[in-house]
């Protein structure tokens, strides 16, 4: 009886502990699951909010038009053309994502720069030939004393190359489809040539350069900068290109995940020198799908020609 009397409280205590443990396991497991669910829910909402914020920012950045000024040493450029200011506009992509108001803003901003010459690098439309009429009409308001010249891009050929050519010409814009012209100033001349699109058409560099000699400075318009990889003609002083859009979306550290070039990031943007020549690649003005820009704002390029330093520098040529 004595022993039984001592064991009873021990048994009660152990039973109480088991009950407590049982209750604890019943209550802590659901609390753990609930807090994990809460954490996941918060993480998903945070990710969605960050994604929406970045998307909204990228859509805004796509309309943050800016002017990028560059002075480029141009081999053999004659003295009267040194200091010539060229406005270069490319990849406008008027369409569902890039409205005509934006194109008109680009035109007004370019005219306000009062350039000597305006060059257009192709890809005027996106997702349909109906966009070429209003786009060409807007571009027809561009004004420069030495004229407005253009080449076509792959999107123009995909949606109607002939229609694009006709609309540009109808608005006073001269297309340089595998041909060139002589610009004349102060008794000197400068060759301005253009080649058709690398992906969708035939290119003829010889026809673009025409009768230019080794003493002439030659500017070449080519929508796609990959063209320069096949240029071994030393007469080409400088190529102006677009097409890569600067990558359009450029991630910190990683760079641009999508670049429509066989040469990766080489022709992403800016001045690139090759063995035979140099090419200036613009980030362009519009967007293709997705209609976003991130760390890659749209740009009007205002290029000033500088005389080349060294033996390439040439005097005036009639
Ligand atoms: Fe483009």
Domain segments of the chain: what residues?
1-61, 65-307
3-class SS at 100?
helix
What separation in Å is there between the alpha carbon of 246 and the centre of ligand 1? 10
Cβ partners under 8 Å of residue 119, min gap 6: 86, 87, 88, 89, 148, 149, 150, 192, 219, 221, 240
Q: What is the pTM of this model?
A: 0.83
What separation in Å is there between the alpha carbon of 240 and the centre of ligand 1? 14
Longest CA pairwise span in the chain (Å): 131
The two structure tokens encoding residue 151 = 């080449």
What separation in Å is there between the alpha carbon of 131 and the centre of ligand 1? 14
65-307: CATH, from 3.40.50.720, 3.20.20.30, 3.90.1150.10, 3.60.21.10: 3.60.21.10
What separation in Å is there between the alpha carbon of 242 and the centre of ligand 1? 7
What separation in Å is there between the alpha carbon of 301 and the centre of ligand 1? 15
- Rounded to 5 degrees, φ, ψ at 273 are -100, 135
What separation in Å is there between the alpha carbon of 160 and the centre of ligand 1? 15
What separation in Å is there between the alpha carbon of 93 and the centre of ligand 1? 7
What separation in Å is there between the alpha carbon of 282 and the centre of ligand 1? 10
CA distances from 84 to 73, 121, 256 (A): 12, 18, 32
Q: What sign has the CA pseudo-torsion 259, 260, 261, 267?
A: negative
What separation in Å is there between the alpha carbon of 284 and the centre of ligand 1? 7
What separation in Å is there between the alpha carbon of 265 and the centre of ligand 1? 16
Residue pLDDT tens, the chain, 318 long: 344 444 444 445 445 444 544 454 444 556 677 777 776 777 676 566 666 676 777 777 888 999 999 999 999 999 999 999 999 999 999 999 999 999 999 999 999 999 999 999 999 999 999 999 999 999 999 999 999 999 999 999 999 999 999 999 999 999 999 999 999 999 999 999 999 999 999 999 999 999 999 999 999 999 999 999 999 999 999 999 999 999 999 999 999 999 999 999 999 999 999 999 999 999 999 999 889 999 999 999 999 999 987 544 343 333
What separation in Å is there between the alpha carbon of 154 and the centre of ligand 1? 8
What separation in Å is there between the alpha carbon of 91 and the centre of ligand 1? 4
Helix (H) or strand (E) holding 302: strand 299-307
What separation in Å is there between the alpha carbon of 74 and the centre of ligand 1? 26
């Amino acid at each position: 009886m004595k022993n039984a009397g001592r064991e009873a409280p021990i048994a009660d205590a152990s039973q109480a502990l088991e009950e407590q443990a049982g209750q604890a396991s019943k209550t802590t497991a659901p609390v753990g699951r609930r807090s994990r669910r809460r954490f996941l829910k918060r993480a998903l909402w945070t990710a969605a909010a960050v994604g929406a914020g970045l998307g909204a920012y990228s859509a805004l950045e796509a309309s943050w038009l800016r002017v990028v000024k560059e002075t480029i040493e141009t081999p053999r450029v004659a003295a009267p053309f040194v200091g010539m200011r060229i406005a270069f506009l490319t990849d406008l992509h008027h369409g569902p994502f890039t409205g005509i108001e934006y194109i008109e803003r680009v035109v007004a901003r370019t005219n306000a720069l009062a350039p000597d010459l305006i060059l257009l690098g192709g890809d005027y439309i996106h997702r349909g030939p109906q966009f070429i009429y209003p786009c060409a009409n807007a571009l027809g308001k561009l004004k420069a004393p030495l004229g407005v010249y253009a080449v076509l891009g792959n999107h123009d050929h995909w949606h109607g190359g002939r229609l694009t050519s006709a609309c540009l010409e109808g608005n006073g814009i001269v297309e340089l489809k595998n041909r060139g012209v002589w610009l004349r100033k102060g008794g000197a001349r400068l060759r301005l040539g253009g080649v058709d699109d690398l992906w969708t058409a035939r290119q003829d560099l010889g026809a673009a350069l025409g009768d230019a000699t080794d003493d002439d400075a030659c500017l070449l318009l080519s929508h796609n900068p990959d063209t320069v990889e096949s240029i071994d003609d030393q007469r080409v002083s400088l190529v102006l290109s677009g097409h890569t859009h600067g990558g359009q979306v450029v991630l910190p550290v990683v760079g641009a995940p999508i670049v429509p070039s066989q040469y990766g990031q080489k022709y992403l943007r800016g001045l690139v020198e090759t063995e035979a020549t140099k090419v200036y690649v613009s980030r362009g003005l519009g967007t293709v799908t997705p209609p976003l820009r991130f760390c890659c704002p749209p740009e009007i390029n205002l290029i000033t020609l500088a005389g080349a330093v060294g033996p390439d520098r040439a005097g005036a040529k009639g």
